[in-house]
Structure 1
Amino acid sequence: MTTNDIVTIGSNCIIKNGDRFFLLAEIEAKVPGVEIDPIVITRITEEQAEKLLAGGLHLCRIQNQPPVAPPGFEVEFKCIFQDNCRAFQIFDVENGTDEAVLVRISLEKACQEVANGARRCTVISRPFV
Structure 2
Amino acid sequence: MANPVTIGSNCIAQVGSQFFLIAEIEAKTTGVEIDPLFAIRTTAEQARRLIRAGVMRCKIQNTVPRPTRGKDVELKGVLFANGRIFSVFDVENSTDEAVLVRINVAQAQRLISMGVRIIKVIRRPFN
Q: Normalising by the residue count of structure 1, what TM-score does the alignment of the two structures yield?
A: 0.93
Q: How is 1:89-100 mapped onto 2 (pairs within 5 angstroms)?
A: 89-100=87-98
Which consecutive residues of structure 1, in runs of 5 or more, have no partner in the other structure? none
User: Partner letter of residue 19 of structure 2?
Assistant: F
Q: Distance in 2 between matches of 1:68 and 1:123?
A: 26
Aligned to 1:38: 36
Aligned length: 127
Q: CA RMSD in A?
A: 1.1
Q: Normalising by the residue count of structure 2, what TM-score does the alignment of the two structures yield?
A: 0.94
Q: Does 1:13 align with 2:11?
A: yes
Q: How is 1:1-129 mapped onto 2 (pairs within 5 angstroms)?
A: 1-2=1-2, 5-129=3-127
User: Partner letter of residue 51 of structure 2?
Assistant: L
User: Partner letter of residue 70 of structure 1?
Assistant: T
1:96 offset after TM fit, Å? 4.3
Runs of 4+, deviation exceeding 4 Å? none
Q: Distance in 2 between matches of 1:12 and 1:99?
A: 6
